[in-house]
Structure formats: structure tokens, C-alpha cells
Amino acid sequence: MSTFVYIFRTRVVVDGLKVHFYRDTSVGDVSKIDIGIALCHFHLTCVEEKISGGFKILNNIKDYGKYEYVTSWIK
């Protein structure tokens, strides 16, 4: 079962040991900055909490309406 979280123009989907990140394309290029901030905060939190894993772009992930897939974090 997936869990969906919305963080200021960013959609985060938790799917088991994978976390998928999407950006809101309805607000233009500003969402590229928002997704960058979200990814940075997520990465820094994982480092601080000593949670191993990394970012990877998966080919089989689809967009959700106005949300465009950006990358996934896999433990």
C-alpha cells in the first residue's frame, strides 16, 4: 500500500522501501526549485538519521495528473 504526502508543490509517494518524488507542473519552473529543496532536505535527514539508500530514476514510474515524476529514493 502506498502513502501519499504533499509538501508545497511536491508530491511524495512512499511505497515500501521506495520513496517517489513528483513536482507540480501547474506552477511552472518554480516547482523545480521546490523539488530541489525537498530532495535536499530528504537526503540530509537520511544522512543525519544514518538511513542508507540513494536516489535513482526509475523508468517504470508514471506521472500523476499535474505531478511529473522526478526521481526515487531506494533503501
pLDDT at 40: 94
Return per-residue pLDDT of the chain as tens, 75 residues.
Answer: 556 555 667 888 999 999 999 998 888 877 788 889 889 999 999 999 999 999 999 999 999 888 999 999 999
Map out the domains of the chain as residue ranges.
Answer: 3-74
pLDDT at 6: 56
Amino acid occupying residue 32: K
Among 21, 14, 11, smallest CA distance to 57 is for 21
Alpha-helical segments (H) within 1-75: 30-48
Q: 22 and 8 in contact (C-beta within 8 Å)?
A: no
Q: 68 and 23 in contact (C-beta within 8 Å)?
A: yes
